[in-house]
Chain A
Amino acid sequence: DAGVIQSPRHEVTEMGQEVTLRCKPISGHNSLFWYRQTMMRGLELLIYFNNNVPIDDSGMPEDRFSAKMPNASFSTLKIQPSEPRDSAVYFCASSSPTPGQGTYGHTGELFFGEGSRLTVL
């Protein structure tokens, strides 16, 4: 089975440009997460979707960041306008529902994509 697929793997852009990162979760998983990883701050949860609905977006840094999940097999993270401090590795991860407990929530075990390394000059 294919794992979580992210694109692009690398993105270099100039300050002020729009950046769109894409993610395809594992089929059958009901939860999707966007994380940002930097040396200074480590892994930070940006947003969590359950059944395509944003559950917790308290980690989204500011209005320049937005995330969507139009269907169960696709999500985007957009930064507009981008700034040099947005340079980081952005991970998408997905998780499956807990067996016997319906479709709300997840098992807690996250499967990560390979990440998108963003450099904003």
Chain B
Amino acid sequence: AQTVTQSQPEMSVQEAETVTLSCTYDTSESDYYLFWYKQPPSRQMILVIRQEAYKQQNATENRFSVNFQKAAKSFSLKISDSQLGDAAMYFCAYSGRGGADGLTFGKGTHLIIQP
């Protein structure tokens, strides 16, 4: 079974600074998807960024980018120019490419933005 590990229960960053959230996963598959979801206090789960494992290029969405290290099974999220609205729980998630299963989530990292 696949597992997703987020080793940082909580992170804090100054507004406008850069922060990196860590995620590692375990799988025996060679092709899969990885995701970062954001859950603000409203509790709505919002997709931040997605990476397909067969793509070497790291995904980027505006201020959000990932560092995907397939061999190390590592998938970190970098948030540049942090804003107060970035404060939330961030979840790393894994899905097999065949789409035969749901997403497996990590336990989450609580990101605090200091004004």
Contacts and interface: CB of A to CB of B under 8 A. Distances in A.
Interface residues of A, number: 27
A55 interface: yes
A25 interface: no
A91 B44 CA distance: 9
Given A31-B99, A105-B98, A105-B99, A42 B107 contact: yes
A28 to B, nearest CB: 15
Contact of B43 (A95, A97, A105, A114): A114
Contacts of B42: 114
Contacts, number: 59
B59 to A, nearest CB: 12
What secondary structure prevails in chain A residues at the interface with B? strand
Interface of B: 33, 35, 42-47, 50, 91, 95-108
Given A33-B103, A48-B101, A56-B101, 17 more contacts: A42-B108, A45-B102, A45-B104, A48-B102, A56-B102, A93-B45, A95-B99, A98-B99, A105-B98, A106-B99, A107-B99, A108-B50, A108-B97, A108-B103, A111-B47, A114-B42, A115-B43
